[in-house]
Amino acid sequence: MSTEESSVTEPVVADGDVSGDVVLDDADSAVTEPEPDPDVVMVTLNGREVAARTGELVIAAAERHDTYIPHFCYHPRMKSVGMCRQCLVEVDTGRGMQLQPSCMITVSPEMKIDTESSTAKRAQEGMIELLLANHPLDCPVCDKGGECPLQDQAFSHGPGESRYIEEKRHYEKPIPISDLVLLDRERCILCDRCTRFADEVAGDKLIQFTQRGNQTQVMTFHDEPFASYFSGNTVQICPVGALTAEPYRFKARPWDLAAEESTCTSCSVGCRVVVQSSRDEILRYQGVDSDPVNHGWLCDRGRFDFEAVNSELRLDDPMVKTDAGLTVTSWNAALTAAQQLISDALGAGGAEAIGILGGARGTNEDAFAWAQLADALGVTYRDAQVGDGLPASILGLDRATIDEAASASTIVLLGPDLKEELPVLYLRLREAATNGGSTLVEFSTVDTGLTQYAAHSIRYQPGLQADAVSDNAELLAGDGSVVVVAGRSNLAESPDETMAALAAVLAANPNAKMLPALRRGNVVGALSVGMAPADPDHDGLATLRAAADGKIDLLVLVGADPLNDCPDVQLARRALAGARRIISIDTHPSESTKHADVVLAAAAYGEKRGTTTNIEGRVSTLVDKVTTTGTARPDWMIAAELSLMLDLEGGLAQVTSVEEVTSAIAAQVPGFSGVTLEALATDRNGVLAEVVPALLAPVTRRAGQRNSYDHRLVVSRKLYDRAVGTAMSHSIAKLAPGAGAHLHPLDVDALGANSGSDVQLIGERATAILPVVANSAVPRGIVWAPFNQGGAVEDLIDGNAAVIDLKIEVL
Amino acid sequence: MSRLTDHNVALAREIIVRYPRKKSALIPLLHLSQEQNGYVTDEAMRHLAELLNLTPAEVLGTATFYEMFKFEPVGTYVINVCQTMSCALLGAGKLMHHAEEALGIKAGSTTDDGLFTLEPAECQAACTGAPTLQVNYRHRYNVTTDAFDALIDDLRSGALSSEIPPHGTLGRNRQQIPADKFVGAPDPDDVSEGPAWVPVPSPANATEDKS
Amino acid sequence: MSTAITRDYTPGFYEGDRPKLVTSRFEYEDSYTLERYLSTGGYDGLKKALEMGPEAMSGEVKASTLLGRGGAGFPAGVKWGFTPQGVWPRYLVVNGDESEPGTYKDRLLMERDPHQLIEGCLIACYAAGLSQCFLYVRGEMAVAHERLADALNDGYEAGYIGKNIMGTDFSVDVILHWGAGAYVVGEETALIESLEGERGMPRLKPPYFPAAIGLYGQPTIVNNVETLANLPFIAANGSAAFTAIGTETSPGTRMVAISGHVKRPGVYEIVNGTTTFRDIIYGNEFCQGIRDDNELKAFVPGGGSAPWFVSDQLDIPFEGREASAAGSMLGSGAVMVMDSTTDIPEAALTLTRFYAHESCGKCVPCREGGTWLLRILERICSGHGTDADLDQILEVGQSICPGEMPHAASERIGLDATPFPYKMTTICFVGPSAYAPLHSALTLFRDEFEAKVVPAPKRISIPVAVAGS
């Protein structure tokens, strides 16, 4: 057995505070008799005296002191259940040695622990033999073989052979329990990890033990699959091959996988992952236990959207528009064409005629390089957001870390449904509310994933969020710590409304800290390193408006797809039509790349090194696990080459490696001075950039009351939509729920409609036809529609409007 | 019709408020649904999940742990023949063979007319009257093969219908708590003081917190 | 017209001139009615308790040294004292899930004298400051449910249960709760899980000692039916009257069910601590000897989980410590007698099958080991066992109960006793119970097992894992 080998399955605790020796060193170095530390308990472990922490489980204390106790059901991030009995050791608390499960016993002063006595060993060997009695031993065809805790521990702590000659239990071989996960009950050892995860961590109680005794099995209800956004975690923590994930099944053997740690950029939580590849293809991500961030968990989109990197539809090579349409060409030719477009635009309308959008999908280095290029050119129309977030000025507020949010007395939710947009942040805050004693106060238009855990969930009509906050100011005052999670809860409502609500929270409690719930992978990083607009008149929407008005000669889309990303899709369409020239730097073909004059194939996640910044401002490293597809290049390199070709002052014309860009960020970007290569190499959890204080710009609120015969529109994201990462990953693409107009069941009745029938949503701009869905999570008078699901709801959104009111008619 | 009837929903709500936590009512409500339908249907489990704010999977997990809950139709009379030690010592095996022959079915199955389900059972707390069996959980003691035949005859003829209700009915009466006498379930999260009749302890004890 | 089957089997438990603390009303046809109960001193104990106050009442219980009658035999008053100070609310859970093989007493107490149990519950709630009482009754006891439901309805109506009991500020609900068929729920932490609507799987002690962290995480007293049925007597007559009966370490009486190959099987209320197994099995006022005057081969002294005794142990009194020293336990008061015609491996099979079947599946040694033992024993009994299987039983047993196993002495085979208890790798006693009786049968009657097996042809060896090699 090597615990190293299973370190991926057994999440690595990357808590900087893990070393148990620290305390001992302190005690040793003290000259005088030190005050006894109330947090330290001295115990005897296999004959040597070691320091444990008060309240620490024996199994954890032993492992910190390099004594591995075999186990299956114990998991440091979940409650102990003492089910598998594998971790039995002999413990003496003054009444003689007794066999005890080390996952259930906490250390006590002068406790003696023997993990290797003949009694302990016999018990451990006995458990392995019993666990293997009904295990099929189909290791040669099992995905887990080679990284299987049961297999490993059978070798390290087992008796060496089985004496079981009776017939084994038989079940139907793997049965799908969701679209992503299969269950082989013959392999299952009933450790309660997956079921505990579903209950305790995810809150999706969709898998349970059923039957009893020798017939016990994990099961879903007959027609309710394990449709959890977090189902992949159960596969990772399964200590046998009972749970396997569809995207990885039979793809590789563990010993063929090369692995490196990185950070997930599917959203901006910044979960630490291990990227695993074989034959230069990414095959799997596994969660890494980063104590301040993800605790080892990943959402299923983050876990499985590597398929998009491997997609056959990737842009392999640069293209330029010819009479025959977009045509593959050489990098030299493409870059020369791009350089020409930039020079032309500068010549025709000056830097004011150039807009640069994007950066949120790439690395800090990508965004910084393009921001440097923009600076050198004097481009002011730039933004990492396209009307889908909040003004960058919120990043100047006193920022909370995820840990601070998860330990706050009161957590105020102004943002979107975190379960849909920042799933692992949802897990952290859900835990804070269920176990941590935090009070959740939610202001939302519709029920969200956290509603059931909120002490107060306050509904408001779009446009009235700030009033709802002011009306409940007493919930936000008080002495305890308050963290407000702020994001864009409604894409069909002006962000000014959320900003006003945020201001109202800070008015009610000036000490409140803020955690931004901006979704796109590196949006905080991009905004921080220079891709933020200087003022609202040059932000993403303003850039698109200028383009639509014919004022933009060249629009550069750096991993930006306004036709999919911008809520005001009509504006995006007019902008792409109105911009005279377009350069698109992207990984996949999109609606927007079709309009481009030059398409530069970009390296994707997993193909380029660099750093990313999460919502807290935590900068962590990304790894280039596989070589880029085709001739694609990282965005920063493209910017650097163009700088060189344009012979720009400053800029990054001279850089030759991404590390130089990282160092340049540390040297030049305010707040990033601590984010050095050395610091990043030291702490795998990353380095927190400092907040550069800024004031919130005052906003004007414009929303009026809704007419009683109208419905007010709420548009927000689901985890799975038609964005590239999901749409290009076949395993999860099918999980997008599809377009629909969700109404309260009584509103559906009032319209005389039936769930599933089409209705017309009639707005000032357009009319959209969508199937109606009766949904009691939606209050009366509101119509909620998921964003970017292929319907026409985006046509109704006007980026200028405070709110969108609609009439609904049955077709 | 396998969701609870309106009448049974009213009964269910009466039962639910007796417990500090809703989920505690799950087993009694599973009995109620089995009483209504003869077995526990999927629809009933979904309905109970709604009533108790659970997932259907949680209902299934609990329900399948307990042997009295059946998930497929069973006979009007479920006959459990005890097989544990005292009964085994006094001829339970012979009785079971006879029962199988008399009913023409193997243990674990139901007669074609849907009247009888025969099951082996574990100790029924009637060991001094071995061998024993239960019909819908009503005991019969010292069961000889002749006595078994007579029992079947009586069940078929309806002679015992007043004594033995159809499968699913746990008791022919229920606990009914008059509203004016009902104290109410003390919520573990909302009660911090001792009950009225307990003398107030010394302040040192009263302030001691639970950890 | 009626079938020839006895419907309400009431053996001679009221014969003889013995003290009857809990079965005093059993002789009446209408013993379960409120009317009969009130006319025979019913609710006098509660009245006395209300007069003396909760502290004095719990003092009486402590002074009575009333031992729990569920199997573990722990003093009830001490158990109540484990509740942490100042933590409210607290609950009473009545363990009426009687299912231990051979045990048949709680059902009688519930069916024949439900008010006595209810009064006991009320006294316990009053004395220990318990805010609500749940009467968890085994699901398969339909008649007990009906009797208890009637008794509770009558009790509420008459003001003995619910708000302001007997005009005082003592208010408590007694809730009748239905089980649904799972032996393991008789274990107190599993009982609590089940009462919370969960699968009845035991919790680990520590930390889940019910008195500290019980129902809904609150302090909870779990008491057996018979234990609580003793409280009306103690309240009405005082602890001295109770300790005057029986011995100092085992005061009062016990209900014992004697079944199997005896002439007059029955449930008897015996004097605790002094009555011997010989009295019970051969005594005139009890079972009157073995059927057909056969020889005694073996007997189970304390419910299906207990290691077996043989005739060498007949003169041991019904007293916990003496039974432990002799290699077994008294458990839940159930004696099962096997005469000389008994096929020992077959008899052991019925118990191993029971415990393997009743495993909750939570911990591995019980879930896998119990069934493994069953498979081996089934093969032996069907003539497909080998001599290697006998040692394999002991090996599997070592994974469930490591170290020395308790067993009785036997002069016949020249064996000394190993005292109770055993060590265990499991959370609760279900797993060891699949093995302990089998182990004692195999130890005391190895010859009978050997007679059923053939020599092992060749040791079969299966590598534990085949991948990665």
**The domain over range A319-389+522-688 is classified in CATH as 3.40.50.10860:** no
- For strand A711-716 and strand A243-245, is the pairing parallel, antiparallel, or unpaired? unpaired
Report the C-alpha gap between A632 and A586 in whole angstroms: 9
Beta strands of C228-321 (E only): which ranges? 253-260, 266-271, 296-300
What DSSP letter does each residue of A23-46 carry, written as one string? HHHHHHH-SSPPPPPTTEEEEEET
Report, as an integer, the average pLDDT of A334-360: 97
A392-517: CATH, from 3.40.228.10, 3.40.50.1370, 3.30.2130.10, 3.30.1360.170: 3.40.228.10
Q: Which two tokens stand for residue C249?
A: 């370490």
Q: A139-309 has which fold?
A: Alpha-Beta Plaits (3.30.70)
Report the C-alpha gap between B94 and C133 in whole angstroms: 43
Per-residue pLDDT of chain C (469 residues; tens, 9 = 90+): 333 333 344 444 555 678 999 999 988 889 999 999 999 999 999 999 999 999 999 999 999 999 999 888 899 999 999 999 899 999 999 999 999 999 999 999 999 999 999 999 999 999 999 999 999 999 999 999 999 999 999 999 999 999 999 999 999 999 999 999 999 999 999 999 999 999 999 999 989 999 999 999 999 999 999 999 999 999 999 999 999 999 999 999 999 999 999 999 999 999 999 999 999 999 998 999 999 999 999 999 999 999 999 999 999 999 999 999 999 999 988 999 999 999 999 999 999 999 999 999 999 999 999 999 999 999 999 999 999 999 999 999 999 999 999 999 999 999 999 999 999 999 999 999 999 999 999 999 999 999 999 998 876 666 655 544 4
Taking contacts as CB-CB distances below 8 angstroms, the residues of chain C near B125 are 98-99, 103-104, 106-107, 138, 140-141
Taking contacts as CB-CB distances below 8 angstroms, the residues of chain B near C141 are 125, 137
| Cβ count within 10 A of residue A287 | 26
Q: Which residue of B has its CA nearest to A204?
A: B55
Q: Can you count the helices (H) and strands (E) in chain B?
A: 8, 5
pLDDT of residue C465: 57
The answer to whether the Cβ–Cβ distance between B55 and A206 falls below 8 Å is yes
The complex scores an ipTM of 0.94
Q: In what order do the strands lie in the sheet with A112-114?
A: A48-53, A40-45, A112-114, A88-92, A97-101
pLDDT digits (tens, 9 = 90+) for C65-84: 999 998 888 999 999 999 99
Task: Compute the mean pLDDT over every residue in chain A, rounded to the nearest whole number.
Answer: 94
pLDDT digits (tens, 9 = 90+) for A560-607: 999 999 999 999 999 999 999 999 999 999 989 999 999 999 999 999
> What are the backbone dihedrals phi and psi of residue A503, each rounded to the nearest 5 degrees, phi first?
-60, -35
Smallest Cα–Cα separation from C99: which of C386, C425, C422, C358?
C358
The owner of tokens 């038609």 is: A722
H helix or E strand, kind and range, residue A176: strand A175-176
| Cβ count within 10 A of residue A749 | 12
**Helix/strand/coil percentages in chain C, nearest 5:** 40, 15, 45
Smallest Cα–Cα separation from C174: which of C135, C136, C137?
C135
Report the C-alpha gap between A563 and A577 in whole angstroms: 11
Hey, where are the domains in chain C? 34-243, 246-341, 343-455
Chain B interface disruption, residue of C7, C259, C378, most B CBs within 10 A: C259
The answer to whether the Cβ–Cβ distance between A212 and B64 falls below 8 Å is yes
The answer to whether the Cβ–Cβ distance between C398 and A190 falls below 8 Å is no
Burial B89-115 (b: 16+ CB within 10 A, else e): bbbbbebbebbbeebebebebbbeeee
Smallest Cα–Cα separation from A633: which of A601, A586, A671?
A601
| Cβ count within 10 A of residue C197 | 22
Give the 3-state secondary structure of residue C135: strand
The answer to whether the Cβ–Cβ distance between C464 and A130 falls below 8 Å is no
Spatial neighbors of A301 by CB under 8 A, at least 6 apart, are A229, A266, A267, A423, A719, A720, A725, A726, A732
Is the separation of the CB atoms in A407 and A621 below 8 Å?
Answer: no
- Checking A330-336 for CB contacts under 8 A at 24+ apart, the result is A331/A631, A331/A633, A334/A598, A334/A599, A334/A600, A335/A600, A335/A638, A335/A641, A335/A642, A335/A645, A336/A645
What DSSP letter does each residue of C336-368 carry, written as one string? EEEETT--HHHHHHHHHHHHHHH--S-SHIIII
Report the C-alpha gap between C336 and C316 in whole angstroms: 16
Which of B56, B65, B67 is opposite residue A224, by nearest beta carbon?
B56
The answer to whether the Cβ–Cβ distance between B31 and C180 falls below 8 Å is yes
The owner of tokens 């002191």 is: A65
Neighbouring subunits of B (3+ Cβ pairs under 8 A): A, C
Report the C-alpha gap between A72 and A150 in whole angstroms: 8
The answer to whether the Cβ–Cβ distance between C365 and A127 falls below 8 Å is yes
C246-341: CATH, from 1.10.3720.10, 3.40.630.10, 3.10.20.600, 3.40.50.300: 3.10.20.600
Q: What is the DSSP letter of A400?
A: P
**The domain over range B6-63 is classified in CATH as 3.30.70.520:** no
Report the C-alpha gap between A456 and A412 in whole angstroms: 10
With 50 as the cut, is the pLDDT of residue A283 above it?
Answer: yes
Amino acid making up residue A610: G
CATH number of the domain at B77-157, please?
A: 3.40.30.10
pLDDT digits (tens, 9 = 90+) for B131-142: 999 999 999 999
- C377 reaches A (C-beta below 8 A): no
Q: C343-455 has which fold?
A: de novo design (two linked rop proteins) (1.20.1440)
Report the C-alpha gap between A81 and B60 in whole angstroms: 21
- For strand A181-183 and strand C296-300, is the pairing parallel, antiparallel, or unpaired? unpaired
The answer to whether the Cβ–Cβ distance between A205 and B64 falls below 8 Å is no
- C140 reaches B (C-beta below 8 A): yes
Which of B42, B46, B60 is opposite residue A219, by nearest beta carbon?
B60
| Cβ count within 10 A of residue A693 | 11
The answer to whether the Cβ–Cβ distance between B23 and C266 falls below 8 Å is no
- CB-facing half-sphere around the CA of A757: CA atoms within 13 A: 11
Taking contacts as CB-CB distances below 8 angstroms, the residues of chain A near B42 are 221-223
CATH number of the domain at A38-133, please?
A: 3.10.20.740
Spatial neighbors of C13 by CB under 8 A, at least 6 apart, are C23, C26, C108, C255, C266, C267, C268, C269
Report, as an integer, the average pLDDT of B11-38: 97
Report the C-alpha gap between C297 and C160 in whole angstroms: 50
Length of chain B: 211
pLDDT of residue C15: 59
Report the C-alpha gap between A125 and C373 in whole angstroms: 17
Q: Which two tokens stand for residue A658?
A: 């991404």
Report the C-alpha gap between A119 and A96 in whole angstroms: 13
A711-810: CATH, from 2.40.10.170, 1.10.1790.20, 3.40.50.300, 2.40.40.20: 2.40.40.20
Burial A529-554 (b: 16+ CB within 10 A, else e): bbbbbeeeebbbbbbbbbbbeebbbb
The answer to whether the Cβ–Cβ distance between A219 and B55 falls below 8 Å is no
The answer to whether the Cβ–Cβ distance between A85 and C361 falls below 8 Å is no
- CB-facing half-sphere around the CA of A737: CA atoms within 13 A: 16
Q: Write a three-state SS string for B94-105.
A: HHHHHHHHHHCC
Q: C34-243 has which fold?
A: Rossmann fold (3.40.50)
Report the C-alpha gap between C428 and C202 in whole angstroms: 7
Q: In a 10 Å sphere around its CB, with 0-12 CB exposed, 13-18 middle and 19+ buried, how is residue C423 labelled?
A: middle
pLDDT digits (tens, 9 = 90+) for B146-203: 999 999 999 999 999 999 999 999 889 999 999 999 999 999 988 889 999 998 765 5
Distance from CA of A178 to the nearest CA of B (A): 14
Distance from CA of B144 to the nearest CA of A (A): 32
Hey, where are the domains in chain A? 38-133, 139-309, 319-389+522-688, 392-517, 711-810
pLDDT of residue A654: 84
Report, as an integer, the average pLDDT of A20-36: 46
Q: Which two tokens stand for residue A253?
A: 């053997």
Report the C-alpha gap between A247 and C376 in whole angstroms: 42
Quote the Cα angle for A490-A493-A494, to 5°: 120
